[in-house]
Amino acid sequence: MAADPNPPSSADDTAIDSVSVLGESTRRQMFAFIRRARRPVTRDEAAASVGISRKLAAFHLDKLVDAGLLRARYGHPAGIRKVGRQPKVYEPTDTPIQISIPDRRHELLADLLVQAVVTEGEDETAVEAALRTAKERGEQLGSEEHAHLRPGRLGTERGLTLCERMLDRYGFEPAREAPDRVRLRNCPFHPLAAQAPDLVCGMNHAFLTGYLQGLRAPAVQAILAPSPGECCVELQDATEDGA
């Protein structure tokens, strides 16, 4: 199962930068014009679309390029080849823009469910396949983190500290309530979790259990500890309940 191509924190930063850049009305109108054009657009065309000078248009276009919303190259609009210097043209990138506060990871949940459907075994139910897939994804993520960090033997407190980094990236909003316990203030799969709490909470638990196994942090365990408005899973000392 492939890992996520882009770290969630990087995607979040890009989305916030993009939204900030589009906060300026002229820039937003210009961006909308270029998206609707369905072809490379010159600076002159972009300037004319909002009634500003070519120089000012260049400034706004460069901001959109820096934010990853547009890409620029030298060429003629509509592929028309002419003699002389080619103008700079702009076209939209394929990067989707999505920002949510609090953080939501519905695309991760959808990906896990699709993987469950396509890999479901003859002796599995749909729910069992979903739980297996979530655990496998978490274990893969933990193994990659362990290989990257080479942390050695992990006790409870250090294991929780490493977990907090991943939890923060994936939108769980971890809160260290005690040296040996981390509470997750946000469910990235809400409000879908409210529609099928047993399934989604089970997948959350399986995902985090798999992550701990991949990270090789046996001193930490994921337990189901539902609380209104928060994630249903808590991380704690594996010996806390006598395990």
- Torsion angle of the four alpha carbons 194, 195, 197, 201, in this order, in degrees rounded to the nearest 10: -80
Whether 77 and 119 map to the same domain: the answer is no
Find out whether 139 and 156 touch, Cβ atoms under 8 Å: no
For position 39, what pLDDT does the model report?
A: 87
Picking from 92, 115, 142, the residue at the C-terminal end of a domain is 92
Out of 25, 60, 92, a domain closes at: 92
Q: What pLDDT score does 104 carry? A: 65
Question: pLDDT for 182-227, tens place per residue?
Answer: 999 888 887 777 788 889 899 999 999 999 999 999 999 999 998 8
Residue 6 has pLDDT above 50, yes or no: no
User: Which CATH number do you get for residue 154?
Assistant: 3.30.1380.20
pLDDT at 94: 79
Same domain, 124 and 220: yes
Is residue 98 included in any domain, yes or no?
Answer: no
Together in a domain, 132 and 83: no
Tens-digit pLDDT profile for residues 150-168: 999 999 999 999 999 889 8
| Phi–psi pair at 146, nearest 5 degrees | -65, -45
Q: Which residues contact 163 (CB under 8 A, 6 or more apart)?
A: 174, 182, 211, 212, 215, 217, 220, 235
Domain membership of residue 198 (yes or no) is: yes
How many domains is the chain built from?
2
Domain that holds residue 196: 106-237
Same-domain status, 115 and 224 = yes
In a domain, 99, yes or no: no
At 42 the pLDDT is 92
Task: Tell me, yes or no, whether 156 and 70 share the same domain.
Answer: no
CB atoms inside a 10 Å sphere around CB 92:
17
Inside any domain, residue 101: no
Q: Average pLDDT of 56-68? A: 90
Contact present, 193 and 185 (Cβ < 8 Å): no
126 has a pLDDT exceeding 80: yes
pLDDT reading at 18 higher than 90: no
Select the more confidently predicted residue: 158 or 239: 158
Residues 117 and 161 in one domain: yes
Looking at the structure, tell me whether residues 215 and 122 fall in a common domain.
yes
**What average pLDDT is seen over the chain?**
84
**234 has pLDDT over 90:** yes
**Domain contains 121:** yes
Q: What is the pLDDT of residue 8?
A: 52
Say whether both 225 and 133 belong to one domain: yes
> Which residue(s) pair with 176 in the sheet?
182
Model pLDDT, residue 11: 53
CATH number at residue 75: 1.10.10.10
Q: In 3-state terms, what secondary structure has residue 201?
A: helix
Residues 33 and 127 reside in one and the same domain: no
